[in-house]
Amino acid sequence: MKTLTVSVVTPDGPVLEDAYQMVSCKAESGELGILPGHIPMVAPLTISAVRLKGEGSSERIAVSGGFLEVRPDKVTILAQSAEKPSDIDVDRARKAKERAEQRMAEKQADIDFRRAEHALKRAINRLDVKDNNF
């Protein structure tokens, strides 16, 4: 079966590069399923899981937004942060979730509320990716 090279890159460096049969992710416009030969495009991603289907194996990655660039034989994901389940620290994510919930409950200025909301989404996404909970 045909494959495409998937590369996930963050400001801290590359997280993954390998060949897969399909990439599923959540763009701001909705769910996307990318197969080899897809038309070129660029799309902003939400805080969500990226699923990579390979031959007999699959991988999932928690991404904190960023961009997806598609070419017929390659998908590049540029994200502010991206973690495989094995790299996710559950304790840290739980604490981040609690902190964010507290901040949101304190009814601070709008900008702080939105920051806390994003932090909450990142924490929940990490916990969901770790648990394979979708």
Six token digits for residue 30: 């909705």
Kindly give, in sequence order, each residue whose CB lies less than 8 Å from that of residue 6, ignoring residues fewer than 6 positions away.
16, 17, 18, 19, 20, 23, 52, 74, 75, 76, 77
Residue from 1, 12, 30, 39 binding ligand ATP (CB under 6 A): 12
Interacting residues with ligand ATP between 67 and 96 (CB under 6 A): 81, 83, 87-89, 92-93, 96
Sign of the four-CA dihedral 94, 80, 129, 105:
positive
Cβ 62 to ligand ATP shortest distance, Å: 8
Cβ 11 to ligand ATP shortest distance, Å: 8
Residue from 66, 116, 122, 129 binding ligand ATP (CB under 6 A): 122
Residue from 52, 64, 66, 75 binding ligand ATP (CB under 6 A): 64
Nearer CB in complex with ligand ATP: 53/118: 118
Nearer CB in complex with ligand ATP: 1/134: 134
CA distance 80 to 102: 24
Residue 16 carries which DSSP code? E
CA distance 126 to 25: 15
Nearer CB in complex with ligand ATP: 19/104: 104
Neighbours of 32 (CB within 10 A): 18
Residues forming contacts to ligand ATP in the complex (CB under 6 A) are: 12, 64, 81, 83, 87-89, 92-93, 96, 119, 122, 126
